[in-house]
Structure 1
């Protein structure tokens, strides 16, 4: 594991509810990185299925909506970038509960993972100094609100670009291909979505694409929503839900954490992830798009994927690179 980054850690340890969830995880024998932080805590910058066809962006209901659309890359600092530089810190909303994407390393206290590597690259390019990056933990359901309320300057947190979200926040160019998949206890012995969901209880994070998918499923399953996708794993371990739906990368991480659950091969809602920012901050989006282009061209994107995600997702990086 890498050493913790140099930005100031103002994180507070989680309250009783999160501590109880962590206790449940530990009791189930699961090694979890990053469980335990409260909503909005400030943080320091810091076996899978056989290969499948690369997921493609899902067709939009609105033919005029293109989830890969964004502004051209630019190195010019406009008003939004200058305002961030004037306040001397770039606040990036991240996850601290997702294994290998954004999770707290218990040995160092730092947050690390694939999304964290990208967030550091963006912050260092914009601010010129990694000590001027502040990471803020943001629950899944609060991602858009945190941007709109100005609590963060951007979100780098496994956020799928959708047509509905594009009306609420601005997105960078995509940086990862994704799809939703189901996790179920191995003891159930199911192989398909039909078997897994028919008359059962399924879990998803609130305001996630997985929640939208489960709301519209035809199987008559009951939906339970939680603040963060890791909470679904706890509920499944406690026998309170029968299945969990989340992004395939997060699902692979959960399956790696707990060998009593399995990841079904079937996929739904293929799409792409992007960095989210406030509507109207066009110059900031353009600067982020430049960083993304440079990050991929330098090989840093692939290096980060190979380090953090390939051990659980097993497929080559090209399957997930937009």
Structure 2
């Protein structure tokens, strides 16, 4: 039954989507307090790449003015990550989730009193198309559980981080796999194309994990790995722990195995030329992270992620921003 349900869900979620969705985010305008800590610019290092975003600013610039003149914000999102960005077949069919809440908070700040959900155009894009969509300016930004790293930071601009997580293993409860370790020997492991997980698997094979690990051909979307797991075509999945927890919530026959083996930060990705937009998003995130109201970070976490990540998770509080 679990296989049938998820396959049906995957079919619904993979339908094309380019439309306005979601509820209004918080009105974050007018806030001026900088919460971050200034950090000196340096050669990109994976341990500090999340600290290299420019400082917050309320100023409009070329990019923001163009968005206002156009009349809507184009955002690349996921539509098949449960509780992050997904079409809920049990509701009105609207896109819902933690990332979707953030999108509308950003749009509400940019458009101010003229904001309405119709001013947000959501474009569902697969994992491996996030960077091309930004570079080709098909979207103004991508809000799609996108980890900040040096390779990506060389191609797109990132906001300061809004979420912290780490890579983790997902496998059937009955599996002998216990984590990212020797128990993966001779196991078939699934990951998404261009994902951190896929990169780590290839880098760690023969070192941190056995050389006999069978790294499967990467799939376009993370949900495809869950389907492969259910169909018996994969023995394990490696992905962000936050996403893996949501997949475990979709199928009670699978579970997280072992602790996270990396520390990673999600950021809002934008075009390299859109410095004014990056700085505005950083300003919005400052208030969004600290808001105690119904439209802030903690309220969104409680609604979408608390049921799967719990209150004691290392992801239960937003990371403190540092700027270059």
Smaller-chain TM-score bracket: 0.7 to 0.9
Tell me the distance in 2 between the aligned counterparts of 1:247 and 1:92. Answer: 22
Secondary structure of the residue aligned to 1:103 is: strand
Query: Given the alignment, which residue of 34, 53, 78 partners 1:95?
Result: 78
Gaps of 5+ in 1: 1-23, 47-59
Tell me the distance in 1 between the aligned counterparts of 2:186 and 2:249. Answer: 27
**Residue number in structure 1 paired with 2:59:** 76
Number of aligned positions between the proteins? 285
- Aligned residues: CA RMSD: 2.2
**Residue number in structure 1 paired with 2:246:** 253
1:36 maps to 2:12? yes
Seen in structure 2, the aligned counterparts of structure 1 residues 264 and 112 have a Cα distance that, compared at 3 Å, is same
Secondary structure of the residue aligned to 1:254 is: helix
Tell me the distance in 1 between the aligned counterparts of 2:2 and 2:249. Answer: 13
Query: Given the alignment, which residue of 106, 113, 117 partners 2:97?
Result: 113
Gaps of 5+ in 2: 23-42, 320-324
**Residue number in structure 2 paired with 1:172:** 159
Q: Bigger CA drift: 33-42 or 248-257?
A: 33-42
Contact persistence 1:295–1:301 (CA under 8 A)? yes
Contact persistence 2:131–2:155 (CA under 8 A)? yes
Secondary structure of the residue aligned to 1:151 is: coil
**Residue number in structure 2 paired with 1:321:** 318
Seen in structure 2, the aligned counterparts of structure 1 residues 33 and 110 have a Cα distance that, compared at 3 Å, is farther
Contact persistence 2:49–2:148 (CA under 8 A)? no
Post-superposition offset of 1:262: 1.3
Contact persistence 1:93–1:137 (CA under 8 A)? yes
Post-superposition offset of 1:33: 5.8
**Residue number in structure 1 paired with 2:194:** 207
TM-score of the superposed pair, with normalisation by structure 1: 0.83
Q: After the TM superposition, which residues 141-290 of structure 1 pair with which residues of structure 2 at under 5 Å, given as runs?
A: 141-217=128-204, 218=206, 219-220=210-211, 221-224=213-216, 225-290=218-283
Seen in structure 2, the aligned counterparts of structure 1 residues 33 and 235 have a Cα distance that, compared at 3 Å, is closer
Q: After the TM superposition, which residues 6-85 of structure 1 pair with which residues of structure 2 at under 5 Å, given as runs?
A: 26-27=3-4, 29-30=5-6, 35-38=11-14, 41-46=17-22, 62=45, 66-85=49-68
Tell me the distance in 2 between the aligned counterparts of 1:170 and 1:61. Answer: 13
Contact persistence 1:45–1:120 (CA under 8 A)? no
**Residue number in structure 2 paired with 1:51:** none
Tell me the distance in 2 between the aligned counterparts of 1:104 and 1:205. Answer: 20
Contact persistence 2:78–2:126 (CA under 8 A)? yes
Secondary structure of the residue aligned to 1:191 is: coil
1:309 maps to 2:305? yes
Q: Bigger CA drift: 31-40 or 145-154?
A: 31-40
**Residue number in structure 2 paired with 1:16:** none
**Residue number in structure 1 paired with 2:33:** none
Secondary structure of the residue aligned to 1:136 is: strand
Post-superposition offset of 1:230: 0.4
1:295 maps to 2:288? yes
Secondary structure of the residue aligned to 1:193 is: coil
Tell me the distance in 2 between the aligned counterparts of 1:184 and 1:136. Answer: 30
Tell me the distance in 1 between the aligned counterparts of 2:155 and 2:276. Answer: 17
Post-superposition offset of 1:35: 5.0
